Amino acid sequence: MEGPPVSRAPEIVILAGGASSEREVSLRSGRAVASVLPGSRLVELPGDALPDWLDASRHVVLPVTHGGWGEDGGLQSALEGLGVAYAGSDAAASALCMDKVRTKAVMRRSDVPAAPEAAFEASAPPSAEALVARLGEDVVIKPSDQGSSVGLLMPCGAEEVAQALASLPPGRWMAEPRLSGRELSIGALDGEPLGLVEIVPHSGVYDFTTKYTKGASEYRYPAEVPAAAAAAAAAAAARLFAACGCRDFARADLILESDGRFHFLEINTLPGMTETSLLPMSASCKGLDYPELVRRMVAPAVARFSRRALH
């Protein structure tokens, strides 16, 4: 009598690179992840396309692609079309979270504090006077559908705001008030919030260069935050991840003001995994070292692969 079908362990394929502005950071993430997953295969994508040899019956994908097609649901949709099991949020949640304006609408529906924003196309920006009247003199201007810190501008006053608006490359942009407070980040794993990390950039601005330059910022984890504020932030993060449909792992960024209030800024569904990345720091607050974190990140996808193989 034949027994049930036996599922062979899949090969873990790590996808990194792609054509986005965050390609080099993604390659660093991919190499770091591959170093702690023995037997995995690291693929450094030259552009925005999947390898033609991916096989749903043999492979599980762990994407560490940042920005653009790798994070906005494009890659995820392509994997779903092939029936390939993969780690991280699905195509719909990825597309939602890549759009900061849509994400903030979910924040408000989920009782997660968020600062006001103005969204616009670079070809039809608001006037500087209108933006300052609505958001204040200190504003943050950034793309609404790119990775965090990409294209970040921080003008002050109507004159600088006008100059910034006039120089924007084509695309979708948003402006927010520049909040004064402590910059924090919190990860999630399997739907559970991890620890709070505080970022203290030496330049005073946590932009793209500062984020990915070793030694350019100080990181404090777990962040020294009053217990009530930490618990409230963790609960809000859990609500937000669930409301956005995030799966397996993610990271959210927020500002904690001096009066104890906090405002969430965005969610990153494929957080960086380099030596200066925030998700590993957040996980370490819960006792997870880097190798264990990576194993936990890919485990749900392996389980999905195995369930599919048995049916």
Q: Give the residue numbers annotated as catalytic, written as ranges.
A: 22, 148, 212, 251, 253, 266, 268, 272
**Beta-bridge mates of residue 59:** 11
Rounded Cα gap, residues 272 and 25, in angstroms: 7
User: Is the Cβ–Cβ distance between 164 and 155 less than 8 Å?
Assistant: yes
Question: Residue 296: what residue type?
Answer: R
Task: Tell me the two tokens of residue 294.
Answer: 């990576």
Chain Cα centroid distance, residue 269: 4
156 three-state secondary structure: strand
Shortest CA distance to 136 belongs to which of 165, 106, 111, 115?
115
**E strand intervals along the chain:** 11-17, 41-45, 59-63, 85-86, 118-121, 139-143, 172-177, 182-189, 192-201, 217-220, 249-256, 262-268
149 three-state secondary structure: coil
Degrees to nearest 5, angle at CA 30 with 273 and 271: 30
Rounded Cα gap, residues 83 and 55, in angstroms: 8
Rounded Cα gap, residues 278 and 284, in angstroms: 10
